[in-house]
Structure 1
């Protein structure tokens, strides 16, 4: 990885992409410290002092602290993620959208992207109004009139729109997927607090603690094992052999070729985790809009709220955590299958193999090839989806250890490692495209 990065800086075009990405990341981090107009920062610090738990803590983690500062990026990129899920789901039930997704080509993808952005603006408007109404009675706003509300909502919407633009620019002119990169940067910005937590476990009372040292070692070793497992699964693939017979192209006879179809064990990457997290926390966000003090309430909606935030806090009964973990696991599995089949169509792959005169050894061309690919892919997805779910759920148990408030859970590590691997792979692809001699050697 380090060799790839070193060689990338030796190539002018790739170096330009890296520096451009770093510049946009700096802009994102600066925006995390720009508070929206009309906010009393002193009252804000007091109101957000307990934002380390629940839905607020999860949003604050993803946004890199922007939520606790009530900055223009407080809503982070979650409205865009939610709108992407909605558009993908609508594409499965609305024939015109389904046709646009499958047969629209580049123009179809551009239209779907435009629909996603329009829906993002609408969701950002709803979420912005909800945040203003939620914190209206907390005293963090200098005034609570219509003008203040208008400025707050417009600022939050502008921040989300700017993040969408930054994500597009990183994807088109930088390195990696822009949306994933923004989430990646937001998460790793919490690394200093994680280091501070480890230090406090060992020297919390200015005296060496053997129990704290053992706990810290267990956390560090567990994180290393977790990262190694994530890297292994992200890189693992099943290679389906494909043979092409001799054929005449023009006046030349093209010889037989042997190749393979690489099927990743975790083909969907970290997207099922991101989708499932957004889906699980959405009810809590909606409930908080209408019942600001829901955390102190009792009843049906309070139970739904506690169930929704159980993924991100230990301040709820164990029963809610267990129920949340089960639903979270099922959602991750479901989104793993959904996202993979949305990006990889076995029937289309089998048809392309048949058109080019190819076949999988021992499998007839056409429908048998489709069935075979679907069978292999299904087995891989079950394993990959269960791995993602276990990695995301097990670290939830760590929160029940006293004095441990990890900034990096299983979901965070999956996203960070997945985005890092994707970025390195793109760097390698860019270097190969430019025939960089030092890399190819």
Structure 2
């Protein structure tokens, strides 16, 4: 028999959505915030020649390395050198660093485990401080690099470098604040939605480029249909794997409370197949693109003879190259296991179950439970790593066989699908909460009607003194 929550979820329709006025306000706020973000991606930094920089960025003779990934995540803000060119990538990097430090640095580990809400706020504050440091460092590198290029800057000099640092850092801090406002007053995770909006913004251009290749005869219609069918299949596969989980049965013993028996409940411990999320491909692609970026920045420099192999090796670190594909897959698998081991600790989970009296049927509490959780998690992570590797390497195989013009990142597809699923789940929870509120109001009105009576001889409440 379905529970009350499942019955309410089954009854959700457009009528219930139309009555959820609070949800309407949240959706409108989220949409307005994303529009503000998109407008900022078209506002160039002061002193930059936008047309000259776009030609420099789109130079087909050079490889842009990690800038391609940043440009994709920022919705094209990097190629326009807009005020939001850094996007929220410094915040993402700071969050990952704080998460890693929370697992290996004892004071932060204690703050994370025992600090509660105040500890979480303190770690968030550390993340903001680190975001400012990373944004300053990255914007300084961009300002100095642009200042050294002739023809891109109207008036090169110290003033341009300082204004670039201030503008780009301020843009990142504004987006961080905007993301927090979306999370608090809108729908979904604000930072994830900002990245989602940037990736979705470049999808129409990618689709138009595919149709352009088909119209000029560079790609056959059969290949185009194959790519469309494969893209739909990949999205369906991602949705299936992101929802997949292993539910471990947790049993709580019965206990005597007065004259009755209490307890004996059952619950489930859900373990996702993809516990690491999209962090492994982001880490892997960032590490692999870094050498290409360094080589591109030092292309005009005279390297020593013993470093003559660096440009040749960097040429193999491009999308579609065999060396890049192999290293990309290896790094994804490594970061899947590494990040999962940091975010989920079987020993802590087993200890918490023991404290609250829960146990896995047939397994002793304590060390044996931790070993069993580690065993199950290792098997799930193996499946999850294989799934993420397959999704991310599929575009690399297409690039190797069909050319660079067809490249689309598996990381971007993972982010788009995951953020969409999370946002839809939050909208459903908002609708479910609205239905619960409606039921509570109806119950109160019925209670008042029964108290007041319908025959005129109802019970009157005693007068308050």
Q: Fold match, TM over 0.5?
A: yes
Write the distance in 1 (CA, Å) between the matches of 2:292 and 2:355: 50
- Are 2:422 and 1:422 equivalent residues in the alignment? yes
Q: 1:70 to 1:91 in 2, by over 3 A?
A: same
Q: 1:210 to 1:292 in 2, by over 3 A?
A: closer
Aligned runs of 1:224-303 on 2, under 5 Å?
224-249=232-257, 252-285=260-293, 291=298, 293=300, 299-302=308-311
- Are 2:86 and 1:86 equivalent residues in the alignment? no
Write the distance in 2 (CA, Å) between the matches of 1:5 and 1:39: 50
The structure showing larger relative contact order (alpha-carbon pairs under 8 Å, at least 6 residues apart) is 1
Equivalent residue for 1:334?
A: 334
Query: Cα offset for 1:275?
Result: 3.2
- Are 2:77 and 1:69 equivalent residues in the alignment? no
Q: 1:327 to 1:2 in 2, by over 3 A?
A: farther
SS of match in other structure, 1:363: coil
Q: 1:293 to 1:196 in 2, by over 3 A?
A: farther
TM-score by length of 2: 0.82
Q: Are 2:64 and 2:296, in contact at CA under 8 Å, matched by a contact in 1?
A: no
SS of match in other structure, 1:67: helix
Write the distance in 1 (CA, Å) between the matches of 2:233 and 2:209: 20
Aligned runs of 1:120-131 on 2, under 5 Å?
120-131=131-142
Equivalent residue for 2:192?
A: 180
Q: Are 1:81 and 1:275, in contact at CA under 8 Å, matched by a contact in 2?
A: no
Q: 1:24 to 1:176 in 2, by over 3 A?
A: same
Segments of 4+ moved more than 4 angstroms: 1-9, 249-252, 282-289, 292-298, 303-307, 401-404, 436-439
Write the distance in 1 (CA, Å) between the matches of 2:290 and 2:219: 38
Query: Cα offset for 1:288?
Result: 5.5
State which drifts further: 404-413 or 183-192.
404-413
Write the distance in 1 (CA, Å) between the matches of 2:133 and 2:404: 38
Q: 1:337 to 1:175 in 2, by over 3 A?
A: farther
Equivalent residue for 1:108?
A: 119
Write the distance in 2 (CA, Å) between the matches of 1:249 and 1:167: 48
SS of match in other structure, 2:268: strand
Equivalent residue for 2:69?
A: 58
SS of match in other structure, 1:260: strand
- Rg larger in 1 or in 2? 2
What is the RMSD of the two structures over their aligned residues, measured on CA atoms? 3.0
Aligned pair count reads 425
Write the distance in 2 (CA, Å) between the matches of 1:343 and 1:251: 43
Aligned runs of 1:363-382 on 2, under 5 Å?
363-382=363-382
Write the distance in 2 (CA, Å) between the matches of 1:169 and 1:338: 31
Query: Cα offset for 1:225?
Result: 1.3
> CA offsets, 1:303-362, max 9 Å, x none?
56546x62xx45xxx3xxx33333333332333234334333322332232233322111
Give unpaired runs (5+ residues) of structure 2. 1-8, 440-465
State which drifts further: 111-120 or 241-250.
241-250
Equivalent residue for 2:462?
A: none
Select 1:166's aligned residue among 178, 195, 202.
Answer: 178
